Amino acid sequence: MSFFGITARNEGQKRLGEACKSRKPIVIGTGRSGTGKSLIAQAVGFDVVFQERRWHKSGKFVYTRLQVDVGKSVGFLPGDLAGKSEPYFRPFFDNLSLMDNGDYMKGYITKGNIVLDSIQTVRGGTYHNSYLIVDEAQNLDNATMTAIGTRLAEGSKLILLGNFSQIDIPSLRNPDNNGFYKLLKGLYESGRHDMFTHVHLTECERGPIADLVESIMVPEAEINSLFVQLEERGLLTQSGGDYLNGYDA
């Protein structure tokens, strides 16, 4: 499986790519840093919107994430909303630089077919004909997850990507307060596997440094066991689980 020069390197990435390509409206990707969640989802999203043209010419690729700082706040940022948001979209552009025709794809931003959106302004809006990636979803509280998850019109696709070992907002380390955890847990409890697929990635492809540092600084023993147990349910998609029923390439 290869899209825009990005090829799945392991079974987890392959399964996530299949899920993102499928007709299921909700895809959840979990896993530690460097497992390739965002890269795979972005590459497949470009294929769905711009090659497959699932929504014809009206289709949009939307990328968003909460604008939360790591460590000490960067403070006031000058400029309009787009200017203030730009530093937080660096992961999107990092991935774009690895793709074939990456510079060409930047033209779709100007045309409005690629939208880099701010979660903070999502209330009241609607995503029509959209492939929506919500990155770093582990940093969303219940209210924010509810707001963004209820913005999608029928036919659009929601991709939620997160890493429970890197929650930057202390209060969200409590599962009761974490919107990503609450939604994923609720999806499993609903039994609506026709509506969602969860894939948990475990193999770090960024390199040995990232894998080593995270294993030292955030050992699994220090992560709330409820987060770990929920993530591991996503391994079923890599071992013959049936959660990918309805895959339609």
Would you place residue 116 in the very low, low, confident or very high pLDDT band (cuts 50, 70, 90)?
Answer: very high
> Given this model, what pLDDT does residue 78 score?
59
- Given a cut of 60, is residue 248 above it in pLDDT? no
- Given a cut of 60, is residue 3 above it in pLDDT? yes
Domains of the chain: 2-67+79-238 (3.40.50.300)
> Given this model, what pLDDT does residue 182 score?
98
Q: Do the beta carbons of residue 29 and residue 36 sit within 8 Å?
A: no
pTM for the structure as a whole: 0.89
Mean pLDDT of all residues in 63-92: 67
> Given this model, what pLDDT does residue 176 score?
97
Cα separation of 190 and 243, whole Å?
Answer: 13
Q: Is the dihedral of CA 21, 23, 27, 31 positive or negative?
A: negative
Cα separation of 136 and 174, whole Å?
Answer: 16
> Given this model, what pLDDT does residue 243 score?
46
> Given this model, what pLDDT does residue 64 score?
93
Average per-residue pLDDT for the chain: 88
Cα separation of 1 and 11, whole Å?
Answer: 11
Query: What would the pLDDT profile of 178-237 be if each residue is shown by its tens digit?
Result: 999 999 999 999 999 999 999 999 999 988 898 899 889 888 888 999 999 999 999 976
Mean pLDDT of all residues in 144-161: 95
Mean pLDDT of all residues in 29-46: 96
